[in-house]
Structure formats: structure tokens, C-alpha cells
Structure 1
Amino acid sequence: MATLWTGGKIYTMAQVGETVEAVLEEDGKIVATGSVESLSPLATSTRHLQGNVMYPGFVDSHLHIIGYGEKLKHIDVSAITSKEALLEKLQERMSKASPKEWVIAIGLNENQFEEPIFPTLAELDALGEAYLIIKRSCHHLILANSKALAFAGITNATPSPEGGIVEKIDGQLTGVLKDAALYLVVNQMPHITPAYIEDALVKAVASLQAYGLVGGHSEDLSYYGPPSQPIQAYRKIVESQQSFKVHLLQHHTVFKEVEKLDTTSSPFLEFGAMKIFIDGAFGGRTAALRQPYNDDPDNTGMLIHTTEQLTKYVQLARQYGQTVAVHAIGDLAIELILDVFTAYPPQAGQLDRVIHCSLVDEGILTKLAELPVAIDMQPQFVQGEYDAELLKLGEERAQGLHPLKSLLDRGLVVAGGSDAPIEVPNPLIGIYAAVTRCNVGEKHDGYNPKEKISRFEAVHLYTGGAAEIIGQQHSRGKIAEGYTADFTILKEDIFTVAIEQLPHIEVFCTVVDGKIVYENR
């Protein structure tokens, strides 16, 4: 049963501006592209695009799908602009919660406050008797009330774990936990059951499909009980429904355990690189820098692992023939892992991944271009906290902040993602950010405008780039014969619409393997 897709503009993304009149699809694959006249005799049915615009299916190359589902389940505080408003919103929820409940808020960004300070532990404790967790927007820092700290056994005498910080002032807990320290609480919360994970996953996939996404590369296997638990949820919700394509990274702490499980891959659930966190984030000043933070001259951030530990993890991945994907934000973190990659390269034809790659200079760019690595970028990172990061880094270093054009100019494979739940997983906002380097609604030349890229290059981040970063550039990411019939169909043309309208384009429908999985009615 071959279906002819036609009746609108169809961008192949094979080269700038290339369009075709029709696409013939059968059994989830593109059989041919060309004119309606030549392909109609081969079709048994027709899908009319009704004047809408088709692209290869958009893929988010870096997000946390279950974590995004959690954000949809819990309290979203990302739009709150004052400490008082935050406490008021939490009070409303805490007043209705039983003492046994866990109240979770996600997306706190104190840089939106007039005075960028967190609530005190006493202020959190005064809100109610339930357990309370507030996740900062970067997800590298949480605030916990005393009840949640006590549940995890954290006291004034608790030392900071390796790769994390239990913050104290004058020896007293503040409720702030950074990087590895936050898992002392987060990984122990008793409500993380199979039903909870499945509900979060259902909510996340439905939302992602509505944004026009046909798939995503996610990292979830070390946060929700034993890795078998999230894997089982993915098999039950994603693989069985065959309506979304997930590529799972494997956190180094569970890598061996995952390898002992059934990791049989399918087009809808694949197992990929070992994931390692090298450093933290700019928000909590834990991104590892070669020189101190401008506004904290005694602090250069934090390396989560020693060189020896990183070498051990990379060697383990190589023993299994696997690539490595690293979270590296600061210039010191990036430089360190590139040295390890140089000493222990992947197999021929494979690409390691540097995720975020947020602060570079000419030396780092040169080294990146010499290695078999690809870059996972989040274009939206240039929005939101850029001014705060500028204060932390200074004007000179900020010239290398959140690069894009510099990476593409050196021939690197670059893919685009949102890091949801940190950013909204709407690829159109990411494309807009990559092209303008502005927040939606702003009118200026852009943050570090020399890093702006073209609309075609920006769309390629979510199509060809997302495919190439996992070695699937010959089967995904284009509309061409032999490729999967994954399509994102929008109501307007990304390449011709007024730039200020680009992030507001509506999705018409989302298609996975020739099947409509979301339709905007």
C-alpha cells in the first residue's frame, strides 16, 4: 500500500531550497520523490498536504524525556519573577499537601528576580509539613526543605560528596544542593514507581509530538530506580506504540548494569553512547573554568571526575565498542575531555559527542575539528540567562559563549536539542534562537551575533544533524529515496515567514514511519 504525499511545499533538506512536488511512501519508507505525474500511477492512496509545508521529521538531539514529563506533572515555576511570588505559589500547593506528600517545583531561575537570591531554609520550612524540592532551571541545583534533607539523612555534619556540594553557611545547611549532592535526595524519593514513570513518559511523548518532533535522544537511565525500570517504561509506552523514536544514552554509573539487560534495539528504542557529566553549569557557578568566575574570584567551578576517572570510563566504553557523550560546559571541562578522547579515540567511523560545549576559544575549536567528535548544541541556551552569564564570565570570554557558526565553519557535525525540561522542547524556538541569537520578541542584533547561522543551517540541526550525530545520516534526516517516512508538517514556511513569526508557526501534523501520530485539529 503506497501513499502519495502531495499538495504542499516539500523541503528535502538535501540542499538549500530543494523542494519536490510529491513523496511516495510505503511501509514507513520513502520509495521515491518527484512529480505527481510520475508517482501517481504507483500510489494506492493520497495524503493531501492542504497547502501546508513538509520537512524531514524534527528530532531533539538532547533532552530528558521522563524528566520533561515530570515537569508536566509538577509545579512549573519557570515564569516566576520574584522570591515572594515563588513562596506564594509554593504555599498554595503546600497548604493542600499531606505531611507524607512530596511537593516538587521545577524551573526556578533566580536571575529573573529583581534581587537574584534563593529562599532561605527557614522560609521553605515555614511553607508547610510536606516534603519540598525545588529544581533550578539548569537541573544542577535544588533547594530542599529540612524534612526532605532529613529524609536523605543530610545534616549539618554531612560532607559534600565527590562531584557535588552540600551548601552550608557558618556550618549550617542552607537547603541548597549542587550537582552530585542533589542525588542524595532526588534518587531516594519514594514516589518513583513504574506507574509514575509511565505517566510522565505518556505526557512527555504527547507533548513532544505536538511540537512536531518525531524523536529524541534522551538520558534517563540513572534517575528512576534501577535502569530496568525506565527501560521497561520505554518498551511499554514508546516501543509498543511505535509513534516516537527514542535514542537512549547510558549514564556511566549504570553502564555495566544496562549492558547486562536486554538492550535489543529497534527503530523506536535504541541504546547509544555512554553518558558522563564532566562539570556543572553556569547557573550555580559549577561549570569548570580555566580562570575564575568574574563575580566569584575564588571559584573556578567544579570538575566532577579526575582525569584518571574519566580515562577509566572512556576505556570501559571502548571495551564495549561504544562511543561517549559528555556534558561539558566550561572551557576547562571541554579541554580535559578532548585530551582523553585524543588518547582513547572511538572505532573508525564513530563519533563521540560533546553536549553543550558552552564556552570555547580558538584552541578548543581547533582541537574539536581535529577529533572524531560531534557537538550537541542547545540554541535556546543563548536566550534567558545570557546577561547573567556575561556577568559571570566577562566580555572577553563571552565571545566564545554558546558557539554555533564557529562550529559549523570548522566542518563539525552539530545537532540541535533543548535539554528539556531545562528549555521548552519546541524546535521552532531553537531554530529562531540559532538564527537571531535573541529571546522571542526582542529586536536587537543578537547575543554574540557573529555566531548566528542561516535558517537552513538551523533546520539542519534538528534533521540531518540529529541523524548524523548517531550515524544514521543515510536513513534519517532527509526526504529522499530509502529514508524513513518521518515528517514534520507545519502550517507556514520556515524559510520565508517573517522572522518574528517563525517561533509561532503552528504544527499541522507529525508523521512517524508514514503514520500520523499528531494532528492539529
Structure 2
Amino acid sequence: MQSNMNIINGHFITLENNADDINSITIENGKIKSFNSPNPNFKTIDIKNNIVIPGFIDSHFHLKNYGKRQDMINLKKIDSIDQIVKLIRQKISQHPDIKWIEGFGWDHNLWGGNYPNSEILNSISDKHAIVLTRIDGHSMWVNDLAIQESTYSVEELDSINGASVINQCILVDNAMDPIRKVMPNDDIGDVERWIKVAIENANRMGITNVHDAWQDANIVAAIQNLINKDEMNLRCNGMLGAAHTELLNRFFSNGHLISDLYTIRSVKAFIDGALGSRGAALLEPYSDDKHNCGLILISKDEFEDLAYRCYKNKFQLCTHAIGDKGNQFVLDTYNNALQDRESRWRIEHAQMVHPDDIDKFVPHQIIPSMQPSHCTSDMPWLEDRLGDHRLDRISKWRTFIDKGLKVAGGSDCPIETGNPLFEFYAACTRQDHSGYPAGGWQPQEKVNSMEALKMLTTWGAHAEFNEHRRGRISIGFDADLTILSEDITTCSPQTILNTEVIMTIVGGNIVYRN
């Protein structure tokens, strides 16, 4: 049930032109009813001069994956293979009857940049299939038993279109698919539990709305179950995974799902891999792998057919593209398929774009959906991967905004932490949390604080066709609000990182209170 309330004594950043005139807002039936006229019959919350902003919208999130990875071995920030081996042995000793051992988050750049060999995992166990997903989600480190379970040989995995295998045990991009197909199916109860964990965490971080960037039938059913049980404390804009043909056909036949908390009108596709695992498709070879230009994961004909079907059925197409060749491929396909400026098709990540392709975003107002912390997470090794001459193609937020494009900001959680304050900080500074490098990495692409806030609110609402009801604090808009301890639009960069979320409100309901 939606609450009616007055919020008084706050500093309101509305992203309208009236912020200086507002000292209270009244919420009725989940909407912003009025400014500066508290209803005496409603409960009143004094927020003691804290800062009220439109609720954070994360435009690229993975709800199920966030929750599921809490059940996996956490390999993030581990800087030695020995420690990884120790954690796997601990997991096996604690759960000896589990056949599949999963971990997530390893990054070979933290232990010198060399990929591990196949003997490391094979020496741990020949009775447990071990599958460790890299931090970017685009490669797996597996043991021989996991490969045997797939019934593929290493050579067959390596020959799959859009795939490669390194050191007999690192499966890149499409080489992972046969392993995934033989792993235990997710139980719908587990999917609900994982999504609830993600929702609770998102609410703690001040997030009121996520764009869930790959949904299958289980995720769709789990979210609908949570809504029916009144346990969905987060708005969700779902992207159907393009690989789920039956689900896609059902929605193309039946049309969009539009409701207050849950919308499906988008399709997610993949064109290439990631820079970290050298699977992002490049126009010229990787500087540290001279015979490798990355991977294109789908044929031209397949992608053109998907684009045609999405446009015909009025579904927004949201395509993962990271490398400059991958982005060029998507842009050219989009511009051939689109006939209007309001389809709002998106490129998820748009991390590396050749200068000659920037203007291709403009005619059909293609939305760059970008994650600022990807830039600052990747910057330590990008020069090795790409060479100095290509670094100015990375994370071009300023360039896109100057072209009149609305950049939708997000985190790609659980690849990154999901904290929108960290994304805001990265967008404004292009620095890590210690303030390195001075002045920012490729600083010409920094954005100002109000632009960074719009990336995480107003422009995210635009990217889901809801700019008329979300992303600003305005009369008649959904009462989705985030209350912070600091004014992140004026405080120092370090203060941004230390800012606390005081309260999160979704549709007039307090879903988190510090």
C-alpha cells in the first residue's frame, strides 16, 4: 500500500528550475502531490536539512546475478592464484556433495596479467566440476571435468563462432555456452531469493529503479511472483535476452508488459566481448595480442533479422557493444533498421567508439547506456591493451552529451558494486577512489555534477520511456526519492564517496531507512 506523507526541512534537488523555492513536498497515493503545503492529516517526516534527489535509476543492472553471486566463491580483488585455490578447497570441504563449484570475480591483471594454466584447477579435484567466471562475465576458468560434462572437446569449444579457448581452460565468450547448458538449472525459488537480495541491496544504495539487462522466463516469473506477494520494492525495466527465442516470440506476439513496478518492452543482445578478456571486437589488433582483434558473437544476418523484428514489433533493442568494431557494427545495423528518432534503441556500454562513428548516434538519437566505473576500473591496463593512440576512444561521456545525446548511467552490477554514488564520482572525476590520476584519466571526457546526476536519474527515465513520470521531483511524478547526507552536486569528490543514504522511497513507500 502506498503511503501518504509530508517530507519537510529538506534541501531538494529537483532537476527542475524551482529547487530554491521548495522546503517540503507532500506525497499522496504514490505520487508527488504538492510543494510547500503539508497536509495536516498525513504523517510528517522531518529530514533535518538532508538532501533529497530524484531516486537513483541504474540503467544497467543484473538482479539475479547479483543475488546468485552471493552464493558463489567471491574472487573479487584476490591478487594470487594460491588464494583462489585455498578458497576453492575450503568450499569443497564445506560442501563435499556439491558437484558444481562456482566462483566469480577473478582478474588475471591482479597477478601479473598472465592467464592460469589448466593444471591448477585439475589438481584440486577430479570429482567436482569447477567453473570460475571472470570479473567481466565474458570468460570462464574451468577444470577438465567441467569441459567433459559439456561433451565438447577443447578443440570443438575453440571452433565455435565467437569463441576462443586459452591454455586449455579459459573459455572466452561463446565458448562458455556449452558449459552453461549442462550446469544445474536455476530453481525458481532460488531466483526469487536472489532477486530479493539484490532488491534489498539496491534499496540500501538509494536505487529506486533498475534496468535489468538480460531476463529469461524464470526471472520474468520470479519478479511477477514478488509483485503478487507485495515484495517488489524496486521498479524494474526488463530486457528480454535475445537468445531466449520462445520467450521473445511470446512477447512479440502479445506486446509490451507495462505496469507500475515492472515493464518489459526491450530486448538485450550481445555483439562482442569485453576488453579485459580481449573479446571486445576491435578495428585493429590488441596492442598486447597482435594477432587478436576480438570476437563478433553474432552473424550480420542474425543481428539484422533481430533488429528488423524488434522494430516491426515496437520493442527497444539494447545491444552490448564494447570495442570500436563492435560499436560500429551495431550503429550501422541500427541506422539501417530505424526510421524514426523515438525508438530509443540503446548501445549498452558503448565503451570504445572510433571518432568517425560518433555522429552515427545522432540521426536516430541512439542512447549510449554507460557505466562510469568501467572506465576507472579498466584504466590501469587499458594502455597495454590498446596503446596510447586509442585511449581517447574510451568512455566518451562528454562528447556524447555535447552531441545532444542523453547518456543513461548505470553500474553493470555485480561486475561493479552497484553503488550509484561511486558511478557519480567516476563520471565527475575519472579517478579511482584514491584520487588517481591527478586531474582524471582522459579528463576531457569528464562531466559536471548536474550532468552526472541526470545520467543516474532523468536520462535513465528517458531511456525507459518514462521521462514524463520519473527522474525528476515534479508535481504528478512518481514519488521515487533518494535522501542523502551530503549535496553531491557541490561537495568535494572525497565527500561524495563518504556520503550516506539516509532513506530510499519508491512510490511513496519507505523501502530503506538508515
Contact persistence 2:409–2:460 (CA under 8 A) = yes
Q: Relative to structure 1, is the Cα distance of residues 97 and 14 closer, same or farther in structure 2, using a 3 angstrom cutoff?
A: same
Kindly provide the amino acid, as one letter, of the partner of residue 332 in structure 1: K
Task: State which of 226, 229, 252 in structure 1 corresponds to 2:218.
Answer: 229
For 2:369, which of 362, 367, 376 is the aligned residue? 376
* Partner SS, residue 130 of structure 2: strand
Residue of structure 2 in register with 1:446 after alignment: 440
* Deviation (angstroms), 1:270: 0.6
> Could you say which residue in structure 1 is the equivalent of 2:496?
502
CA separation of 1:258/1:336 partners in 2, compared to 1, >3 Å: closer, same or farther?
closer
| CA distance 1:435–1:238, change in 2 (3 Å) | farther
Letter in 2 for 1:336: F
From 122, 125, 128, the counterpart of 1:125: 122
1:89 aligns with 2:103: no
Q: CA deviation at 1:346?
A: 5.4
Whether 1:207 and 2:209 are equivalent positions in the alignment is no
Provide the rounded CA distance (Å) in 2 between the counterparts of 1:463 and 1:401. 23
Distance 1:292 1:233, change over 3 A: same
What are the ranges of 5 or more consecutive residues in structure 2 without an aligned counterpart?
none
Provide closer, same or farther for how the CA distance between residues 165 and 90 of structure 1 changes in structure 2, counting only shifts above 3 A: same
* Deviation by residue 1:30-55 (Cα, 9 ceiling, x = unmatched): 1122x3xxx03575331221332111
Same amino acid, percent of matched pairs: 25
AA aligned opposite 2:54: P
Q: Residue 58 of structure 2 aligns to a residue in which SS?
A: strand
Q: Does residue 274 of structure 2 align to residue 281 of structure 1?
A: yes
2: distance between equivalents of 1:396 and 1:155?
39
Q: How does 1:108-507 map to 2 (within 5 A)?
A: 108-113=106-111, 115-128=112-125, 129-160=127-158, 162-167=160-165, 174-221=168-215, 227-238=216-227, 240-260=230-250, 264-345=257-338, 347=340, 349-443=342-436, 444-507=438-501
- CA deviation profile, 1:277-315 (whole Å, cap 9, x unmatched): 011110111111111111111111111122222111101
Report the Cα offset of residue 191 of structure 1.
4.9
CA distance in 1, matches of 2:296, 2:212: 23
TM-score, structure 2 as length reference = 0.94
Check whether the contact 2:341–2:363 (CA below 8 A) recurs between aligned residues.
no
Distance 2:131 2:398 in 1: 38
Q: What letter matches 1:7 in structure 2?
A: N
Q: For residues 464 and 43 of structure 1, do their structure 2 counterparts lie closer, same or farther at Cα, with a shift above 3 Å needed?
A: farther
Instruction: Give 1:484 deviation, angstroms.
Output: 0.4
User: 1:71–1:11: structure 2 CA closer, same or farther, 3 Å change rule?
Assistant: same
Contact 2:106-2:133 within 8 A present in 1 as well: yes
Gap regions ≥5 residues in structure 1: 222-226
Structure 1 range deviating more: 205-214 or 158-167: 158-167
1 CA distance for matches of 2:263 and 2:273? Answer: 27
Residue 13 of structure 2 corresponds to which residue in structure 1?
Answer: 11
Shift of 1:369: 2.0
1:411–1:392 CA distance, 2 compared to 1 (3 A) = same
Encode CA deviations 1:186-215: one digit per residue, 9 max, x unaligned.
Answer: 243215111221121111111111111011
Structure 2 residue aligned with 1:224: none
Alignment TM-score, normalising by the size of structure 1: 0.93
Question: Counterpart of 1:25 in 2: which secondary structure?
Answer: strand
Does the 8 Å contact 1:73/1:200 carry over to 2?
no
Q: How many residues align?
A: 506
Shift of residue 235 of structure 1?
Answer: 0.9
CA deviation after TM superposition for structure 1 residue 159, in Å:
4.0
* Pairwise CA distance, 1:491: 1.6
Assess if the C-alpha contact under 8 Å between 2:242 and 2:248 holds in 1. Answer: no
Contact 2:342 2:364 in 1 (8 A): no
Q: Which runs of 4+ in 1 moved over 6 A?
A: none
**Alignment-mate amino acid for residue 30 of structure 1:** I
The separation in 1 between residues aligned to 2:448 and 2:43, in whole angstroms, is 36
CA distance in 1, matches of 2:354, 2:122: 44
Letter in 1 for 2:412: D
**Most deviating of 228-237 and 507-516:** 228-237
Q: Cα deviation per residue 1:141-188 (whole Å; 9 max; x = unaligned)? A: 01111222122213244243644325155xxxx221111221211243
Aligned-partner Cα distance in 2 for 1:307–1:389? 28
Equivalent position SS for 1:116: coil
Q: Note closer, same or farther for the CA distance 1:368–1:220 as it changes in structure 2 (3 Å cut).
A: closer
Q: For each residue in 1:30-82, what CA deviation from the matched residue of structure 2 results, as whole angstroms up to 9, or x when unmatched?
A: 1122x3xxx03575331221332111000110011101111222221112012
Structure 1 residues 123, 2: closer, same or farther in 2, change over 3 A?
closer
Asked if structure 1 preserves the Cα contact closer than 8 Å seen for 2:142 and 2:169, the reply is yes
Query: Contact (CA 8 Å) 1:125, 1:146: kept in 2 or not?
Result: yes
Q: Which moved more, 1:65-74 or 1:13-22?
A: 13-22
- Corresponding residue for residue 513 of structure 2: 519
Shift of 1:217: 0.3
Q: Tell me the SS of whatever aligns to 1:408.
A: helix
Please, which moves more after superposition, 378-387 or 476-485? 378-387
Instruction: Flag the 1:16–1:435 CA change in 2: closer, same or farther, 3 A.
Output: farther
Alpha-carbon distance in structure 2 between the residues aligned to 1:250 and 1:360: 25
CA positional deviation for 1:390: 1.6
